[in-house]
Structure 1
């Protein structure tokens, strides 16, 4: 209950205080990347229940001859890379926190298509609400391997506490300032998870 109350209050205040920043970011995205300004995608929440996550758009529309999106590195622009490096693209997720779909701290919500690929241990990351930031994010972010990332997610599930959340939020600010672990080696963001079940 304390965690949910904290999430609700901080997300509400964050949306109010950061509204001018979000408005400027939205206008810049509209000018440089076009519409839509927001990126919405269904992601798995607690217990794998789907919800619609909202972020600021960071990539341009670019399709191949078969109308499939080009790889991330070909759609990412310097402006989009800046939004990701500064984590400004994550600000709309405060709305998801306010609604209760997400928490400020928890395992990052990944793709729905990954659900059947997890081992039983890895699936434990869905025992809690997904977060805007998390234990894996302050310990390597996208520079981590999928296996290491999931181990850190499960560690958080087993050791979560209000004080650990405060520590993660504090260290997240430091990580954002230093721009650590923004992408995996040789990737614009992170390579896809293909499963590792025996």
Structure 2
């Protein structure tokens, strides 16, 4: 199985390079337009950059379009900072387009567990930490099963399921389901939250990872 996974991962990297290159070319006019809108509504910087752990926990800088205002005395919480434009960009996944650069560079893959915050690394159980055995993805099994609406425990379970059963057929299925999920704008947020609640560990919180 490990030999099959290594072979698949090598072929997948070749596909990621081709697909991200084509994607960046095709979406260039859209990205220019989104950049102009973000600049007009949010100001500078247009891009959101944040360190995230990648394969084997190696840190890289994730790049997305900014969807929130910078914090100030009137905009403190995520709910207050998230704008109408930002909600639209998130619901349509247009904010993710610059992430194709991360795929091209090799920080990420098109398909895989979503890259989360560096601060979460200390809270993972050994099993949950296995999500870093592969490159993080722009989309993944958890994203097509509920995006941000599910508990952390369920999300990590799906991440490990992908690590163990990854294949070309599964990746194609996830890509098709991703298009459907984005078009329906499902699972964007957890009910009652503008963004996904922070992960503090499966044992520490009262929801088993929610």
Query: Normalising to structure 1: TM-score of the pair?
Result: 0.96
Say yes or no: does 1:173 pair with 2:179. yes
The match for 1:155 is: 161
The answer to whether the aligner puts 1:19 opposite 2:28 as a matched pair is yes
Displacement, 1:153?
0.3
Once residues 146 and 73 of structure 2 are traced to their aligned partners in structure 1, the CA distance between those partners, rounded to angstroms, is 32
Q: Which secondary structure state, in structure 2, belongs to the residue aligned with residue 40 of structure 1?
A: strand
Instruction: Say if 1:117 and 1:197, in contact at 8 Å, map to a contact too.
Output: no
Q: Which runs of 4+ in 1 moved over 6 A?
A: none
Mapped to 2, the partners of 1:51 and 1:103 lie a distance apart of 13
Aligned length: 195
Answering whether residue 58 of structure 2 is matched by residue 49 of structure 1, we say yes
Task: Tell me how far apart the structure 2 counterparts of residues 126 and 64 of structure 1 sit (CA, whole Å).
Answer: 37
- 2:154 partner SS: helix
Q: In the alignment, which residue of structure 2 is the partner of 1:87?
A: 93
Distance 1:64 1:46 in 2: 37
> How far has the Cα of 1:71 moved from its partner?
1.5
* Structure 2: runs of 5+ lacking an equivalent: 1-9, 205-210
Which residue of structure 2 lines up, in the alignment, with residue 125 of structure 1? 131
Structural mapping, 1:88-103, within 5 Å: 88-103=94-109
CA distance in 2, matches of 1:2, 1:83: 31
1:127 shift after superposition? 0.3
What's 1:185 paired with? 191
TM-score (norm 2): 0.91
The 3-state SS of whatever aligns with 1:51 is strand
What is the RMSD of the two structures over their aligned residues, measured on CA atoms?
Answer: 1.2
Post-superposition offset of 1:166: 1.0
Match of 1:32 among 38, 41, 51: 41
What SS does the aligned partner of 1:119 have?
coil
In structure 1, distance between residues paired with 2:163 and 2:77: 33
